[in-house]
Structure 1
Amino acid sequence: MTGDELLAQIRAWGLTFPGAHSKSPWPGHDDLAVKDKTFAYLAAAGEPFSVSVKLPYTHPVALDLPYARPTRYGLGKSGWVTFTPSAEEMPSLDQLKDWVDESYRAQAPKRLVKELDARQP
């Protein structure tokens, strides 16, 4: 699966979360947000693969990956991690979903997280 295909799947999946919507704060990005708070910065189709998410629990482990770094603009201090893997290093769709889920839960209001939990078996 190509990076654009992975991002398209992540984008579509992330938009199923309660209150999630697309947000394009600047060219080259098609981000996921909840209540206007971004929970995933995603590269737009055709751009080099890049995902940034807030990982309050797993950021130390995620930063051990060779293609991960603290997100710029001071976001890394708050647990944001940016992933820019090569085609050979591309994480699985399940791994990307885990990171996006953790980020959504960190950014969404508690009532929306409860709504998400109620949907899951």
Structure 2
Amino acid sequence: MNDQPFADAEQALRTHALSLPEAAEEFPWGERVIKVRGKIFIFLNHYQGALRISLKLPHSRDFALDMPGASPTGYGLGKAGWVTFRFEAGDAAVDVERFHHWMLESYRAVAPKRLSAQLPA
């Protein structure tokens, strides 16, 4: 059995995140984050056999929290619009296209306006 059942989705999301203007990957706390100008816009990790994705969703937060496996992000980030999604073995496939859209929303929420303006509408 694959120890990382969502490895393809994780790689697709990582690749998409790193394609955004000035995006950079870092590993604070031993956890993958992708930042723009020093501000995190996505947490993306396998942890304890699950894929975890956290995004800042100022517009889609309420809708996103209705999704299976979604919860407000810990450490007080949930109050600032962050949502964490947890996918475990046996769960439905990750909707990579939806996460691409949410990733753009998260990026726009933290990136300078000049960089956000470079993204597709």
TM-score normalised to structure 2 length: 0.87
Which segment drifts farther, 69-78 or 4-13?
4-13
Tell me whether 1:101 sits opposite 2:104 in the alignment.
yes
- Runs (4 or more) in structure 1 with deviation over 2 Å come to 44-48, 85-91
Cα separation, 2, equivalents of 1:47 and 1:15:
24
Q: Which has the higher strand share?
A: 2
Cα separation, 1, equivalents of 2:114 and 2:105:
15
Query: Unpaired runs of 5+ in structure 2?
Result: none
Which segment drifts farther, 70-79 or 88-97?
88-97
- Counterpart of 2:22 in structure 1 is 19
User: Matched residues, percent identical?
Assistant: 37
Aligned partner of residue 6 in structure 1, secondary structure: helix
Which segment drifts farther, 61-70 or 38-47?
38-47
Deviation of the 1:114 alpha carbon? 0.9
Deviation of the 1:46 alpha carbon? 8.4
TM-score normalised to structure 1 length: 0.87
Query: Unpaired runs of 5+ in structure 1?
Result: none
In the comparison of the two structures, how many residue pairs are matched? 117
- Counterpart of 1:10 in structure 2 is 13
Aligned partner of residue 28 in structure 2, secondary structure: coil
Cα RMSD between the aligned structures?
A: 2.0
Cα separation, 2, equivalents of 1:97 and 1:35:
20
Cα separation, 1, equivalents of 2:54 and 2:71:
9
Tell me whether 1:111 sits opposite 2:114 in the alignment.
yes
- Counterpart of 2:66 in structure 1 is 64
Aligned partner of residue 71 in structure 2, secondary structure: strand
